[in-house]
Homo-oligomer: A and B are copies of this chain.
Amino acid sequence: MSLADLQTPVAYSSASVADVVNDLKEAFGERCSTSQAVREQHGHTTTWLKNQAPDAVVFAESTEEVAQVVKLCAAHKVPVIAFGVGTSLEGHVNAPSGGVTIDLSRMNAVLEVNAEDLDCRVQAGVTRKQLNSYLRDSGLFFPIDPGADATIGGMAATRASGTNAVRYGTMKDVVLGLTVVTASGEVITTGGRARKSSAGYDLTRLMIGSEGTLGVITEITLKLFGQPEAISGGICSFPSIKSACDAVIMTIQCGLPVARIELLDPLQVRACNIYSKLDLAEEPTLLLEFHGSEAGVREQAETFAGISEEFGGSEFRWATKAEDRTALWQARHDSYWASFTLRPGAKGVATDVCVPISRLAECVTETRADLDREKLLATIVGHVGDGNFHVLVLVDEENAEEVATAEAFVGRLNSRAIDFGGTCTGEHGVGQGKMKYLRKEHGAAVDVMQSIKSILDPDNILNPGKIMPTA
């Protein structure tokens, strides 16, 4: 694997690391681990980047403990990597320069729920499914759904979104405020519970998506939403990617408030059929979900059926029963794992481009042609209401030529998306894997990002080797 080799790890003093680890063992006892298994588990990434384990892992239980670890690391200029549950896809939790990983998964308390205000405050290690279980009887829910049962802290750190973003936004839209430990170990809060504020620089949004490189997020105040009175959904296939995308564009233009609108390409449908034992037509397919009142949901569905017909869609197949809907969305969420049924033993190279939806059909079609030309096996799924789609390339990681072909493909895909006015990452983040595309996407703005990093983390101890090129 070569991507991770691109970054030059900064040399931190190994004597300092040893000192810090000794101090941490003294302070945290068994909650500071240096076992190889634990360290490697925390360098784990879901994708193809190689595992780079930290020197030690501390299981923190409070903001104060996180501050204590960061202060110690700051004093010795030792790297600090924040870790939730390890579902990130771009090597965010790798430790290319070693250092201390702070595992936040034990900070999993829901601290307050304010039902009247539709907000709550949680510790960073609460997962989205845990939060929604907690909220079940309140009539409220937390809508952001990246598929994996990620922690809220990790989702904030990577500016995550997922299938519901077309209706409910991304993490940047649903976070009201954060508690953050800065590079010097200070604890700050970046926002209160007001629904909106113009009081100074938006540190909340600056921290969201900063992937632990500007601070460690320990608590999050979130907007919640009322559970919809009615939910309906279904599935519909189209003669071509273009006709499916055109139906999506029309749906968005009409202002139809779809809660989810997902594209699966024929190969992805085949994989889902095998993995989830379904019998879907292996054609370009849209999965939809509508939220609203009973009448509102019916109206939305009728409007969509009209649009679908206009673009040659098959008859809309309803999943009105909750269990059918769950099965369908479970299959969608499992699509990442399903893809591997097409090539058991392969490694998956995840991608995450997002383009203006008017360019979506063109971008997906060109991308599929590129894959075919290069004889790469890959599935495509997309949060197409936002113009965001994922190609998962299945590669034999022992075959250097194939790996190089896949990497070159990923480079072309990212460039294509950027050239179309889009981004190389809609929701996964930069991590290690996307650093080399940042300059093409942002130009001189990268220098502004770099200067912010340099002032907020002058010794580059916060998750070094991610997002920003090491100086």
Which of chain B's residues has its CB closest to A252's CB? Answer: B118
Q: Give which listed residue, B209, B355, B421, B452, contacts A452 with CB less than 8 A.
A: B452
A305 at the interface (CB under 8 A from B): no
Check B206 against A422 for contact (C-beta < 8 Å): no
Check A354 against B195 for contact (C-beta < 8 Å): yes
Chain A 185-216, CB within 8 Å of chain B: the 1/0 string? 01111101111111111110110111000100
Distance, CA A444 to CA B170, complexed state (A) = 27
Distance, CA A170 to CA B418, complexed state (A) = 27
Check B254 against A226 for contact (C-beta < 8 Å): yes
Provided the pairs A188-B445, A421-B193, A455-B455 are in contact, do residues A356 and B114 lie with their beta carbons within 8 angstroms?
yes
Which of chain B's residues has its CB closest to A140's CB? Answer: B253
Distance, CA A229 to CA B254, complexed state (A) = 9
Quick one: copies of this chain in the complex? 2
Residues of B within 8 A of A208 (CB): 202
Distance, CA A170 to CA B198, complexed state (A) = 10
Check B387 against A356 for contact (C-beta < 8 Å): no
A135 at the interface (CB under 8 A from B): no
Interface residues of A in 417-444 (CB under 8 A from B): 417-418, 421-430, 434, 437-438, 441-444
Check A430 against B198 for contact (C-beta < 8 Å): yes
Residues of B within 8 A of A196 (CB): 159, 161, 165, 170, 354, 386, 388, 423, 426-427
Check A159 against B202 for contact (C-beta < 8 Å): yes
Check B194 against A430 for contact (C-beta < 8 Å): no
A446 at the interface (CB under 8 A from B): yes
Distance, CA A319 to CA B203, complexed state (A) = 41
A275 at the interface (CB under 8 A from B): no
Q: How far is the CB of A403 from chain B (nearest CB, A)?
A: 24
Residues of B within 8 A of A417 (CB): 194
Q: Give which listed residue, B182, B206, B418, B445, contacts A205 with CB less than 8 A.
A: B206
Q: Give which listed residue, B252, B299, B426, B445, contacts A203 with CB less than 8 A.
A: B445
Total interface residues in chain A, CB < 8 Å: 93
Provided the pairs A255-B226, A455-B451 are in contact, do residues A198 and B438 lie with their beta carbons within 8 angstroms?
no
Residues of B within 8 A of A158 (CB): 198
Residues of B within 8 A of A188 (CB): 442-445, 448
Residues of B within 8 A of A411 (CB): none
A117 at the interface (CB under 8 A from B): yes
Check A194 against B443 for contact (C-beta < 8 Å): no
Check A194 against B387 for contact (C-beta < 8 Å): yes
A467 at the interface (CB under 8 A from B): yes
Task: Please indicate which of the listed interface residues A114, A172, A193, A295 has the most CB atoms of chain B within 10 Å of its own CB.
Answer: A193
Residues of B within 8 A of A424 (CB): 199
Residues of B within 8 A of A456 (CB): 448, 451-452
Task: Please indicate which of the listed interface residues A114, A214, A228, A448 has the most CB atoms of chain B within 10 Å of its own CB.
Answer: A448
Q: How far is the CB of A80 from chain B (nearest CB, A)?
A: 17
Residues of B within 8 A of A252 (CB): 118
Q: Give which listed residue, B255, B358, B449, B454, contacts A228 with CB less than 8 A.
A: B255
Q: How far is the CB of A16 from chain B (nearest CB, A)?
A: 25
Distance, CA A394 to CA B426, complexed state (A) = 49
Check A253 against B118 for contact (C-beta < 8 Å): yes
Distance, CA A307 to CA B430, complexed state (A) = 47
A1 at the interface (CB under 8 A from B): no
Interface residues of A (CB under 8 A from B): 114-119, 139, 158-161, 165, 169-170, 172-173, 182, 186-190, 192-203, 205-206, 208-210, 214, 225-226, 228-229, 249, 252-255, 293, 295-296, 299, 352, 354-358, 386-388, 417-418, 421-430, 434, 437-438, 441-449, 451-456, 467
Given A194-B426, A197-B425, output 18 extra A-B contacts at Cβ < 8 Å.
Answer: A114-B356, A116-B358, A118-B253, A169-B173, A172-B205, A173-B173, A188-B442, A190-B445, A193-B421, A194-B386, A196-B388, A198-B352, A198-B423, A199-B424, A202-B205, A205-B205, A225-B255, A451-B456
Can you offer 14 A-B residue contacts whose CB atoms are under 8 A? A114-B358, A116-B357, A117-B358, A186-B444, A188-B448, A189-B443, A195-B387, A198-B429, A199-B423, A199-B441, A200-B441, A201-B209, A206-B452, A295-B299
